[in-house]
Amino acid sequence: MQRLQILDTPRERSFDDLVMLASQVMKTPMAVISIVDGDRLWFKAQVGMPVGEMPQAAALCDHPMRLDEILMIPDALRDPAYAGHPTVAGPPHIRSYVGLPVHAPDGTVISVLAVGDTEPRVFSGEQISLLEAIGRQVEQVFALRATANERALDRDHALAREGRFRSVLQSLANGVIVYDVNGTIDDVNPSTEVILSASRDQLIGLNTMHSEAIHEDGTAFRAEDRPVSITLKYGIEVRDVVMGLNLADGARKWLLVNSAPLWDAAGRGSGAVVTFADVTDLLTLNNQLQESLGELAKAAQERAALLSSVSHDIRAPLAAIRMMTEILEDRADAITETQRNELIRRVRAEARRTEGVLTDLVSANRVGTGLEAPRRKRIDLEQLIYARAREFDGANHSIRVGELSGDLTMWADAAQLERLIDNLISNAVTHTPAGTKIVIEAREYDGRIELAIDDDGPGVPEAMRVRVFSAYVRGERAADRPGTGLGLFLVQQFAQFHGGSARCLVSERGGARFVVTLPRRPGQMSAVGTGE
């Protein structure tokens, strides 16, 4: 409980959303996330309860807390064990109740997710399964909170140490460089000379923004993206940027860089001060820490986007999955093997469709908040094309791999590239009639790769060939078809993230031809190819 630091904290959206979801799923007027603190039961989040806490002796949560098992009471007044309980005989007059134990990251029971009604109720197995799923989400929020507290404590300690030594600049282990408004080095401290293996006389007067620097993935740092460049241009702080430098002696140093603006007496920018630490030996540990902190912020944003956006777009495929699984379960002896296989195929297709909707919604939100920058690694595009073609090939549409030529290995974000291909294939499948043939081709030329998806369907009207790449734009014939209108928008965004482009053309087969041009290596500008 100490790791969570949660008792008597204000309301939080993540917990409030989960109890509201529990109340709606279970169709009960009351739902709480409760925590035992000594002899009191404190509600971190609640719906329909008149108080925010109560004595533990007056609560129904003792059973799930003590025995670590779910408690279900269909009718408390007919149950001798609970008929005289204070919350049954008195306010809030609970008649039916479900209490689910919630565990801390170490496995101990620290909380109860409970729902209650003033009427007797029999809860279905499906409702209990959904409540258990919500309980697991509560456990995830607790785990994230514990991690966040630990990371915040680590960061506070680091900042405190930095503050204690700020006044003794010359004795700092970190390097310090002072730049003028033009990006020229004005001053350095002794640690800078040691870390960069260069003397003060060698560094003063240099403009190091034009020296070679790289990202962790090996891609080049553009001059305008460096912390000091951003600070000088916009007058803002930039913190915790990892940069790799190749020094004059041939060694490579990894630095954790911070940059802050300097102001003159009139409030005008007079330069920037850059502090940096040599983290060459601690890079792996630092990456893990930064990833953990970043995931906490991203998880909160993604949860908000999912709760507000997915209900409409996934209702239809979920209903179809439910219907087909009920047929498989209830009529197992009455259907043929062919019919069973077809139902299973359709369930997989609807599940893939639901997954695609969720992935597109999350990616669109991350694009809008600047969280979808590519994380590049070496990719064999040919293998990826064959894998995605096999995944989508089905009875209604034939997905085939056409001509693949040249060196199709490239440096790219694997998840973004796979989603780009999936969205192009899904677009062709969704907007063409059954029996349409879809062909995937790729060729390498001049350091670029051109990926094309061809079909012999109805094609895209000329007036729509640019607009189809805008968010939430769908074709005139797509009103009765599934989709969010984000697939091609994300294709274009992922292509641009990699320095490439996406176009919609007319296929030689008479249908649509979508072409994505990407650089094989980072830093190569991907001009539009002309070999159609």
Assign 78 to helix, strand or coil: helix
Residues 146, 29 within the same domain:
yes
Q: How big is the CA angle at 181 (ends 175 and 187), to the nearest 5 degrees? A: 30
- pLDDT digits over 134-188, tens only? 999 999 998 888 888 888 888 887 777 656 645 556 777 889 999 999 989 999 9
Model pLDDT, residue 526: 42
Question: CA 22, CA 15: separation in Å to the nearest integer?
Answer: 11
Instruction: Give me the domain span that covers residue 33.
Output: 13-156
Model pLDDT, residue 246: 83
Residues 354, 425 within the same domain:
no
Q: Where does a domain end: 99, 131, 156?
A: 156
Contact 188, 200 (CB under 8 A): yes
Residues 361, 381 within the same domain:
no
Over range 93-110, report the average pLDDT. 89
Tell me if 5 is assigned to some domain.
no
Q: Where does a domain end: 255, 281, 307?
A: 281
Contact 369, 299 (CB under 8 A): no
What is the bridge-based pairing of β-strands 409-412 and 30-37? Answer: unpaired
Question: CA 517, CA 532: separation in Å to the nearest integer?
Answer: 12
Per-residue H/E/C for 391-459: HHCCCCCEEEEEEEECCCEEEECHHHHHHHHHHHHHHHHHCCCCCCEEEEEEEEECCEEEEEEEECCCC
Residues 224, 351 within the same domain:
no
Tell me if 290 is assigned to some domain.
no
Residues 491, 468 within the same domain:
yes
Per-residue H/E/C for 239-278: EEEEEEEECCCCCEEEEEEEEEEEECCCCCEEEEEEEEEE
User: What is the CATH number for 408?
Assistant: 3.30.565.10
- pLDDT digits over 294-339, tens only? 776 654 554 444 444 445 456 656 766 777 788 777 777 778 888 8
Tell me if 162 is assigned to some domain.
no
> Torsion angle, CA of 229/231/235/240, rounded to 10 degrees?
160
Residues 206, 87 within the same domain:
no
Q: What whole-number percentage of the chain has pLDDT above 90? A: 31
Number of domains present in the structure of the chain: 4
Burial class of 430 by CB neighbour count within 10 A (0 to 12, 13 to 18, 19+): middle
Contacts of 115 (CB under 8 A, 6+ apart): 22, 23, 26, 28, 30, 31, 32, 97, 98, 131
Assign 410 to helix, strand or coil: strand
- pLDDT digits over 195-217, tens only? 888 888 989 988 866 678 888 88
Residues 328, 436 within the same domain:
no
Residues 405, 452 within the same domain:
yes
User: What is the CATH number for 21?
Assistant: 3.30.450.40
User: What is the CATH number for 264?
Assistant: 3.30.450.20
Is the peptide bond between 92 and the residue preceding it cis, with omega within 30 degrees of 0?
A: yes
Contacts of 277 (CB under 8 A, 6+ apart): 173, 174, 175, 255, 256
Give the phi and the psi of residue 240 in degrees, each rounded to 5. 55, 55
Model pLDDT, residue 529: 42
Res. 51 pLDDT band, cuts 50 70 90: confident
Report the DSSP beta bridge partners of residue 13.
Answer: none
**Measured between alpha carbons, how far apart are the two ends of the chain, in Å?**
64
Q: Where does a domain end: 343, 368, 393?
A: 368
Half-sphere exposure of 488 (CA within 13 A, CB side): 24
Residue from 143, 134, 90 nearest 115 by CA: 134
Tokens of 206: 């240099």
Q: Please name the residue that has the structure tokens 């059973």.
A: 63
Tell me if 289 is assigned to some domain.
no
Q: What is the DSSP letter of 10?
A: P
pLDDT at 286 over 60: no
Q: Please name the residue that has the structure tokens 């930039």.
A: 238
Question: CA 474, CA 487: separation in Å to the nearest integer?
Answer: 10
| 425: amino acid identity, one letter | I
Average pLDDT, the chain: 82
Residue from 477, 484, 472 nearest 512 by CA: 477
Question: CA 11, CA 344: separation in Å to the nearest integer?
Answer: 44
Residues 25, 152 within the same domain:
yes
Residues 385, 501 within the same domain:
yes
